[in-house]
Structure 1
């Protein structure tokens, strides 16, 4: 007989459902702002932000982007294709690995990122941080960081074997 999975107590369930509701409400508000101001999906914004804000070169390998934004490889390929058609990124073969593709943000991508970022940060500030004190915000970061690190300790999604369709 298989082991019975551990159950969640009422405190854990309350925390879980509160986190899921907050994440859903925040994502909805952010997506609305990104669509209105930049005609971007949340994933497209994540890609542009990782390339334009987090990468010193403005470039990243597709698999690293997929792992970073926690998105499927095929879904990311589709989103990067849409961004490339809009001249917001370019895709080229990776100089380090002939099987890999490198995505680079363009000047137009940087300009669009600069256009949507002020409203994006305003939504986050209003929705997430307005009801919290500075101490609360630090506590939230301190609570979520080890959870994120624990979840990220597993092998990246790009290292997982692909399932074959039958």
Structure 2
């Protein structure tokens, strides 16, 4: 029970702090940051909205609203997928790339300060091992 509660409380508090730092310093949420990272890492700076929702673990409806807000802020644009004409792409803008570049040191610094630097190398390996197992279990559940 201690491990479970520690995980729930610690992870929620960590996400809240990382989110607050990004919002106060760069006017983006942690969810916005995750989307910008995913878009910036794609070959064309563009990802299908359905793939983006899967990648950031969001419902398509929630993602649509979020991308609409990000579009209004000049961070992304939406366009029709050239391949089939039906899909919608989210595309990172130059402004989105700039905001991501400005926010990355804040985010990485927070992750290091509030998590990575608190653990020794064995603890980090253990944490990675635990979440690899969780991912495998969840993947096999969704395939069943």
Same fold by TM-score greater than 0.5 = yes
How far does residue 93 in structure 1 lie from its aligned partner after superposition? Answer: 0.8
Q: Which of 56, 67, 71 is the equivalent residue of 1:80?
A: 67
The count of aligned residue pairs is 142
Q: Which of 23, 42, 58 is the equivalent residue of 2:30?
A: 42
Residue in 2 that maps onto 1:27: 15
Residue in 1 that maps onto 2:53: 66
- CA-atom RMSD, angstroms? 1.4
How far does residue 56 in structure 1 lie from its aligned partner after superposition? Answer: 2.4
SS in 1 for 2:118: coil
Q: How does 1:130-145 map to 2 (within 5 A)?
A: 130-145=117-132
Structure 2 Cα separation of the partners of residues 37 and 117 of structure 1: 11
Structure 1 Cα separation of the partners of residues 94 and 139 of structure 2: 31
Q: Which stretches of structure 1, 4 residues or longer, exceed 6 Å deviation after superposition? A: none
Structure 2 Cα separation of the partners of residues 71 and 86 of structure 1: 20
How far does residue 147 in structure 1 lie from its aligned partner after superposition? Answer: 0.6
Q: Which of 82, 85, 92 is the equivalent residue of 1:105?
A: 92
Structure 1 unaligned runs (5+)?
Answer: 1-12, 156-166
Q: Could you tell me the TM-score, scaled by structure 2's length?
A: 0.91
Q: Deviations over 1:4-30 (max 9, x none)?
A: xxxxxxxxx332222111210110110
Structure 2 unaligned runs (5+)?
Answer: none
How far does residue 141 in structure 1 lie from its aligned partner after superposition? Answer: 0.7
Q: How does 1:111-126 map to 2 (within 5 A)?
A: 111-126=98-113
